A and B are shown apart, each in its own frame.
Chain A
Amino acid sequence: MTCDDARVLMHALLDDELDLTKALEVQRHIEGCPECARAFDMFAAMRSRLKDEALRFEVPSTLEENISRAIRARTPEASRSTVYPSRRASLSQRAALFALPAALAATLALVIVPRALKSGAGQDLANEVVASHVRSLMASHLMDVVSTDKHTVKPWFNGKLDFSPPVNDFAKDGFPLVGGRLDYIDGRPVAALVYQHGRHVINVFIWPSSGDTTSEERIETEHGYNVEQMIVDEMNCWVVSDLNPVELGKFAALIRQKG
């Protein structure tokens, strides 16, 4: 065992995470190597300092009560911060909560101004989807699972969602799948698949269609982003990218065929 290996593995030894054979191997190295032994003692001391209770922040006593109340009420007033509408929320509740994407957009310091000519829930959804797309690019949170293999990405969603999104790789058509993540749209967890085309990132948001959404397909431009909406196999699919409409249309056609 080299010192470089020992200097990583000694942490797993301290944490009691090595199997017996490996643990003995590391111990043997440390015994025969003064430099590693010194490092080991120092990290052991560090570890016991970190375990010190004083470093743990105690929960403010009011937090549990606040959360308990917020969970039970789940109305916009109940929470100081963001409240997500229930999937089963009544239509009027939904309408009230559609103000949320706008508020979110404002905190993003992005000027997302609803257009006067368009209206309705579809428009709010489009804003929400674009906001999510932009957020995914800003944060270092484009992907939860990084893989170009649909057999890795699809199972990753198991247990995280109550539906199984269709996952396909379109690499041979110039739109490789690069990963996926969980997102939150229209008051519910959704699957977000990330594709790439050249330098452009494409987000595809997928969730089961409730049937009350308009089924007409459309493509539109939203604050410089192109958004395409469709329903494929009873799934809502929203495709968002800064890619030009023609290329994005090609991509959408692939989704439609494979769906």
Chain B
Amino acid sequence: MRAKEKRLPDDPKTLDFDRMFLPHMGAAYNLARWLVRDDHDAQDVVQEAYLRAFRFASGFRGGDPRSWILAIVRNTSFTWLSRNRGSDSPAEFDDKVHTREIEPRGLEADAVRQADGVMVRAALEELASEFREVIVMRDIEGLSYKEIATAADLPIGTVMSRLARGRAKLARLLKERLAKEQ
């Protein structure tokens, strides 16, 4: 047993882990960065998540490594947020309100196309985290609904409705910013 503990630096397990999970560090960092909204903290979160993943790696039995590592990054981010900044208060979920009613009135496609990039970014940063995370995973990282369902541990139907609501809320935030600018 003792001999096993003193692994050489690059034993097969470590190499497998590198091969499978290091390519997804970009996605991992981007998600953590959008969730904790600070570069240094996001680096800490990704590092913690990868160390956890390395421990959990024996429990990884196939499947999509990107969704798997993102699930750990997501959990680590939320744990980090609640530990360091108090709970990132969850947005009020009112499923009785139709998505259509959340959408802003009279926001035209052209206005969205011409909006300043800084403004789009700020609106997304302002969005509640449960919507922000699915939009980051879908629109920025290009994950499928199924992959998001795995990473965020949600049913696929919820992924769809959360994206619809998230984008409607985002449109509203963007419109508020556009109105202020004028």
Contact = CB atoms under 8 A, between A and B. Distances in A.
A45 B113 contact: yes
A49 interface: yes
19 contacts: A7-B103, A8-B160, A12-B164, A42-B109, A43-B167, A43-B171, A49-B112, A56-B26, A57-B34, A58-B26, A70-B47, A79-B51, A84-B51, A86-B5, A138-B82, A140-B87, A144-B153, A162-B58, A162-B59
B59 A161 contact: yes
Interface residues of B, number: 75
Contact of A71 (B17, B164, B170): B17
Contacts, number: 189
A89 interface: yes
Interface residues of A, number: 69
Contacts of A189: 55-56, 59
A107 B29 contact: no
Given A8-B161, A87-B55, A141-B82, 19 more contacts: A4-B98, A7-B164, A12-B160, A42-B107, A42-B112, A42-B171, A49-B113, A50-B140, A55-B124, A67-B50, A68-B22, A70-B50, A80-B47, A84-B51, A86-B55, A107-B83, A107-B84, A140-B90, A184-B55
A187 B18 CA distance: 21
B59 A55 contact: no
A12 B46 contact: no
Interface of A: 3-4, 7-12, 15, 17, 38-39, 41-52, 54-60, 63-64, 66-68, 70-72, 74, 79-84, 86-90, 107-108, 135, 138-141, 144-145, 159-162, 182, 184, 187-189
